[in-house]
Structure 1
Amino acid sequence: MTDRAVRTVLGDVAPGELGVVNYHEHLFQTTPLLPGDELDDEEHSRAEAADLVAAGVGCLVEATPIGLGRVPSAVRRISRDLGVHVVHTTGVHRESHYPARPDLTAKSTAQLAQAFRAELVDGLVDDRDAHDAEPARHGRAGLVKVGIGYWSVSAFERRAIEAAGGVSAELGAPVMVHLEHGSAAHEVLTMLAEAGCPEDRVALAHIDRNPDPGLHLELAARGAYLGYDGCARHKSWPDSVLVDCLEKVVAGGGEDRTLLGGDVARRSRYESYGGMPGLAYTYRRFLPRVRAAIGEQGVALLTTKNPSRWLTWRTAPEIDQKR
């Protein structure tokens, strides 16, 4: 079947409608790993998303998976109010985010696949309603996310990878992988492929936490998308490191596999919650430096063409025009 549509929280849309895509962001997230950094206020999250839209973004990926304070009902309201496309993820994060959720981390591969498939096909559930007998569903997920630890894959994470790969193979949905510090990229890509997921369905989030252009080009040659989402983390590396890495990957022939996002995910770094530098930093401060390094064609691929190709379902149903 041919590529047809991107699945957003307000319905399926043609890939050409997305505009500039932030491939990885969070409007809502709560996790025991980030106490005090909860994103849990709809008005503040709406204001931050509005700033992102004002910076030129037409579509963002809400990358918060199951069990981490997701509120897809609110994401739909924000999408509708601001006129911004939002692609929401299903899936699960790495196991350390769920220290008190044996009901989730003990699920079998088949049970995880069933949960992912339901959110892709039937609709998303607010986390606060997850234990209801028949929870309300709010739009549908457009991709599946899984995560691993630093050079480690727990039994739960392995089952989640197998489930995500199988569901992607079945439905044609894209996949995102959280790589802790950019580690084990080849290994996870192979695991997904063994589960049936084509390597060109996969975005490797945080690959720039290991800013190794040679590695990135190897992964691009396998078909994987490279998620650059680490700017404004000067405590770890200056933005120049990421700009230089992107420039080398583009020069080496990997320009059609690059993606750009922010992955800010912390109250203390959202301007609307009283922090800084805010979501728009990626587009107002970082992207001009990237443009100077790789040119307009490279930026068009990075921000528009590549993410729309990655987000397009291979076997999506007819485009739903109901908004």
Structure 2
Amino acid sequence: MIRTVLGDIAPAALGVTDSHDHLFFASAKLPGQELDDPAAAEAELRAFAAAGGQGLAQWTPMGLGRRAGHLAALSEAAGVHLIAATGLHQAGHYPPETLTPLLNGLAERFIAELTEGLRQDGDPDGAPLSARAGLVKVAGDFHQVDRHASMTFEAAAAAHHATGVTIAVHLEGGTHPLGVLKALDGVPASSVILGHLNRFPDLGPHREAAEAGAFLGFDGPSRANHATDWRLFDCLAALIESGHTDQILLGGDTTSAAGRAASGGGPGIPYLLTDIRARVLRDFGPDVADAFFLHNPARAFDTDWQA
């Protein structure tokens, strides 16, 4: 089953999916660019639905303004399945006074949000909401797994072993995918999504990660991370040619107010379908498009929930 904010659904029900995006996101690294407007989030999600979108994975973890209390209503209003994240980002995204309380009993926090319900960001030890997380999001550092990442990876692995959940990993600058798989000791690569690979378009590690069994996340264009947009289709073509079509996931990764179509300069969440998916269809055909947007997400977020 896939765990959405409105309850568990069969994988086949997920539909055309944005495998990595943000409706809400507030980072200390992006002051003044917070995604914190529920009305704009709803407009963005409705536009995504109008473009044919049916499912979206929001990778915003604990403590980054994910507005957990709004997610179920947004999902219902737009008619889009939402998969919410627990987990923890890099330390630099948090003010110290926010991060320090979250680090106590980290694995237990992840597991509780997966099995009991999300907590409000301002009340991480409060009563659970009815909406539960459906993935764990953690983050590596540039070409390494630093001390903070090692701690969050250990907690994510514990949550996986307790529940079977998929682990989604922010690769800083798209780097260190093989090191990340090694650091998630005991977690099958097939339960790991490696995000931001488009930011470091080195085809060798991409193929090795695919051969190990991981899902490969190519997300963007985001206004904040667009330097390698022009290499995206080269990377996709190489992986298709080497037989890894069934491991590729695509997402919009809208992380800033300026990048939102509904209230900023865009291109926003709908662009993933109106432009990227349209080009996938044109360049690679409907079978590949269905793999990227329909079948692969259904498998990537499917969990044999143990709790």
TM-score (norm 2): 0.95
Match of 1:320 in 2: none
Partner of 1:48: 44
Name which of 172, 180, 183 aligns with 2:175: 183
For residues 207-246 of structure 1, the aligned pairs below 5 Å read 207-231=197-221, 236-237=226-227, 239-246=229-236
The match for 2:76 among 63, 77, 80 is: 80
Residue 28 (structure 2) pairs with residue 36 (structure 1): no
CA apart distance, 1:10: 0.4
Is 1:24 the counterpart of 2:20 in the alignment?
Answer: yes
User: Cα deviation per residue 1:2-47 (whole Å; 9 max; x = unaligned)?
Assistant: xxx0000000000000111111111111111001111111111100
Name the SS for the 1:61 alignment partner.
strand
Does residue 117 of the first structure (1) align with residue 80 of the second (2)? no
Secondary structure at 1:127 match in 2: coil
Query: What does residue 10 of structure 2 align with?
Result: 14
The higher relative CO (CA closer than 8 Å, separation ≥ 6) is in 1
Alpha carbons of structure 1 residues 144 and 238: separation in structure 2 relative to 1, 3 Å: closer
Q: Out of 231-240 and 76-85, give the one that drifted further.
A: 231-240
Instruction: Report the AA paired with residue 113 of structure 1.
Output: A
The verdict on how the C-alpha distance between 1:244 and 1:97 changes in structure 2, with shifts beyond 3 A counting, is same
Over aligned residue pairs, what C-alpha RMSD do you find? 1.7
How far is the alpha carbon of 1:105 from its aligned partner? 6.3
Matched-pair contact (CA < 8 Å) for 2:224–2:256: no
Among all aligned residue pairs of Structure 1 and Structure 2, give the percentage whose two residues are the same amino acid.
38
Asked if 1 retains the 8 angstrom alpha-carbon contact of 2:222 and 2:259, the reply is no
Q: Secondary structure at the match of 2:262?
A: helix
- 1:49 and 1:126 map into 2 onto residues whose CA distance is 21
Structure 2 SS opposite 1:31: coil
1:98 corresponds in structure 2 to 94
Change (3 A) 1:276 1:315: closer
| Cα pair 2:86 2:110 within 8 Å, conserved | yes
Structure 2: which 5+ residue stretches go unaligned? none
Deviation, 1:274, is: 2.8
Work out whether residues 120 and 143 of structure 1, in 8 Å CA contact, stay in contact via their aligned partners in 2.
yes
More displaced stretch, 269-278 vs 258-267: 269-278
Matched residues in 1 for 2:171 and 2:101: separation? Answer: 20
Deviation per residue, 1:78-97 (Å, 9 max, x gap): 00111110000100001111
Letter in 1 for 2:15: G
* Cα distance in 1 between the residues matched to 2:95 and 2:27: 10
Q: Distance in 2 between matches of 1:98 and 1:40?
A: 16
Q: Secondary structure at the match of 1:129?
A: coil
Is residue 265 of structure 2 the alignment partner of residue 275 of structure 1? Answer: yes
CA distance change for structure 1 residues 30 and 138 in 2, over 3 Å: closer, same or farther? Answer: farther
Q: Which amino acid aligns with 2:281?
A: R
- 1:204 aligned partner: 194
Deviation at residue 286 of structure 1 after TM alignment? 1.8
Between the aligned partners of 2:234 and 2:134, the Cα distance in structure 1 is 31
The answer as to whether partners of 1:117 and 1:167 remain within 8 angstroms in 2 is yes
Matched, 1:251 2:245: no
Q: Deviations over 1:179-203 (max 9, x none)?
A: 01111110111111x1x21110000
Whichever residue aligns with residue 103 of structure 1, its letter is T
Aligned residues of 2:4 and 2:131 also touching (Cα < 8 A) = yes
| Partner SS for 2:24 | coil
How much does 1:137 deviate? 1.5
Secondary structure at the counterpart of residue 57 of structure 2: strand
Instruction: Show CA shifts across 1:122-173 (max 9, x none).
Output: 0001212325xx3341310001010122123332221110110121122111
Give the length in aligned residue pairs.
306
Match of 2:253 in 1: 263
Distance 2:38 2:78 in 1: 13
Q: TM-score, normalised by structure 1?
A: 0.90
Residue segments in structure 1 that go unaligned for 5+ positions in a row: 318-323
Give the equivalent residue in structure 1 for 2:139: 147
SS of the residue 1:76 aligns to:
helix
Task: Tell me by how many angstroms 1:277 deviates.
Answer: 1.5
